[in-house]
Amino acid sequence: MGKAADERATLTINASDDLPDMLEKIRRAGTQEVILDCGLHPILREDPFVRRLLKATAADFGKDVTFRHTDATTRAGVDTRGRQETHARGTSARIQRQRILPRRLSALPTATWKRFGVIIPRGRIPLAVFAAITGILLTGVVTFVLPRARIQLALVTEPFTADFTVWLDTSAVEPRAAAGAHPARLFRAEEVVEQEFSVETIVQKGARAEGSVDIVNETTAAQGIKARSRLKSASGVVLRTQRDVIIPAQGRAAVRVQAEEGGNAGNLEPQRLTFSALPAASQRILYGAVVQPLRGGTDNQVHQVSAADIERGSAELRASAERTLRERIAQETRSASFSAPPERRTAFSKEELTRIVVNHPEVTPAAGTEASTFRLKATVRGEAFIADAQSFNAFIADLIRQRIAEEKEPARASTLDDLRVVDIRWDHGRAEFSLHVDTPLVPRIDLNTLRSRLEQRTADDATAFLRAIPGVRSAEVRLSPVWVKRIPGIPRNIHIETTTE
């Protein structure tokens, strides 16, 4: 007994000692078995998990630690494999790395999980590291342990085109696919629009130039020229003869002329004139000549309301009125109230289901009046059918299902933008229109049933089974991890993706 007591060193742990101090005392002890008196240290006395941590650390350099309390002794055996450590405390890097215990219990950055005997870190950084490690472990389990099957199916598509006759009826209560009728609302609006426009037509009101010109006849026969015949200058000025005249062969005759429009442009200097009605060859041998300058033309340009101005203004007024009314229709469509819940409520209307009429506008002042501006006033009336978009889309889907076989289904759900209105007829609260639908079809496959039929099949067997399904062009089966040889029996681990060709 005396010899055994001599082989164990007794060390007293003070309240101020931290982990490096404790480990240094244990390391310097001359015996392999060390007794630690922890009655003065609050952490070692109250927390068995800290004692366990200290025992495990001391075992790294071959020390068997026994803790002694005031009235009891606790001993734990450790691995006797030890190694010699340096005796210099300041150069012990391993001991410095073990500094995880504070001097006070309240500052301890660890929380014990007593049920499992592990230490869970507290604080943001330790928790983040703990969560990251847990996530990596779970990902590894899912990736490398759980069996999974990924199946890629390429389905053959076939075209499907149909025209439906559909009624939007304000008196209908619910959709009737057999009759092709769907309930709708008829929105009516009327507005009086008025707009001012500028006059672009400029009329020359100045005096017209006049004078005498010679008509030259180089032909071998006499030529007769009637009154009001048109002579044109190189600058585009048009002159009118004031009387009938006969020009002898190989001769000339004078005739009075007057400019067709007023302005200084009619004051022509001596030059050659041509008859616009004659062909080019005849204009060289029968023409007019200004011998004495024409005078008397003065400028006086004024704006005058013309039919062209009214037509231009009417087009702009009509476009503006239609735009305003369509904005009202769009606002009414957005705020339309249907039976669907508010979060799923959307209204449907198309451009073809809107009718806008603009009556003949009133013009002030009238055409022919000298003015720089004029005003147009018109009444615009509009009607638009509005339906519940969700209900109408389901209504069209029912019509499509009635036309296709049971083993087929559309490759994708039709949207309202895919629908094309071919023809429309308005009839007192009802609109009959032809609706054109163009969508591809694919085989109808129940994926849940398919998963159950693929369970426990090998990859080759499953591929052959899938390729035998009508409408399947190709199939690819991938199993993971690499050691998995059969499709798992868990349906949620069988992922099926379909594409169309």
CATH topology assigned to domain 206-299: Elongation Factor Tu (Ef-tu); domain 3 (2.40.30)
Residue 10 is predicted with a pLDDT of 81
Instruction: Decide if pLDDT at 18 tops 70.
Output: yes
Convert the pLDDT of each residue in 197-245 to its tens digit: 999 998 888 899 999 999 999 999 999 999 999 999 999 999 999 999 9
Convert the pLDDT of each residue in 276-292 to its tens digit: 899 999 999 999 999 99
Q: Supply the DSSP string of 114-182, one letter for each residue.
A: TTTTEEEE-SHHHHHHHHHHHHHHHHHHHHHTS-EEEEEEEEPPEEEEEEEEEEEETT-SS-BTTTTEE
Instruction: Name residues whose C-beta falls within 8 Å of residue 172's C-beta, 6 or more positions apart in sequence.
Output: 181, 182, 183, 184
Give the end-to-end CA distance of the chain in Å, rounded to a whole number: 90
Residue 143 is predicted with a pLDDT of 56
Residue 349 is predicted with a pLDDT of 63
Q: What average pLDDT is seen over the chain?
A: 79
Report the 10 Å Cβ neighbour count for 149.
23
Instruction: Decide if pLDDT at 318 tops 70.
Output: yes
Report the distance separating Cα 307 and Cα 376, nearest Å.
Answer: 13
Convert the pLDDT of each residue in 247-274 to its tens digit: 999 999 999 999 998 888 999 999 999 9
Report the distance separating Cα 53 and Cα 117, nearest Å.
Answer: 11
Three-class DSSP category at 465: helix
Convert the pLDDT of each residue in 131-160 to its tens digit: 778 877 777 655 555 788 899 999 888 888
Give just the sign of the alpha carbon dihedral 388, 392, 394, 395. positive
Domain ranges of the chain: 2-108, 186-198+304-388, 206-299
Convert the pLDDT of each residue in 443-501 to its tens digit: 888 888 988 889 889 989 999 999 988 888 899 999 888 788 888 888 888 899 988 87
Instruction: Decide if pLDDT at 337 tops 70.
Output: no
Residue 268 is predicted with a pLDDT of 94
Residue 289 is predicted with a pLDDT of 95
86 confidence band (pLDDT: 50, 70, 90): very low
Of all residues in the chain, the percent with pLDDT exceeding 70 is 82
- Do 400 and 439 form a contact (C-beta atoms < 8 A)? yes
- Do 320 and 356 form a contact (C-beta atoms < 8 A)? no
338 confidence band (pLDDT: 50, 70, 90): low
Joined tokens for residue 487: 């499709």
Residue 113 is predicted with a pLDDT of 38
User: Comparing 400-404, 413-417, 435-439, which segment has the lowest mean pLDDT?
Assistant: 413-417
Residue with tokens 């007994």: 1
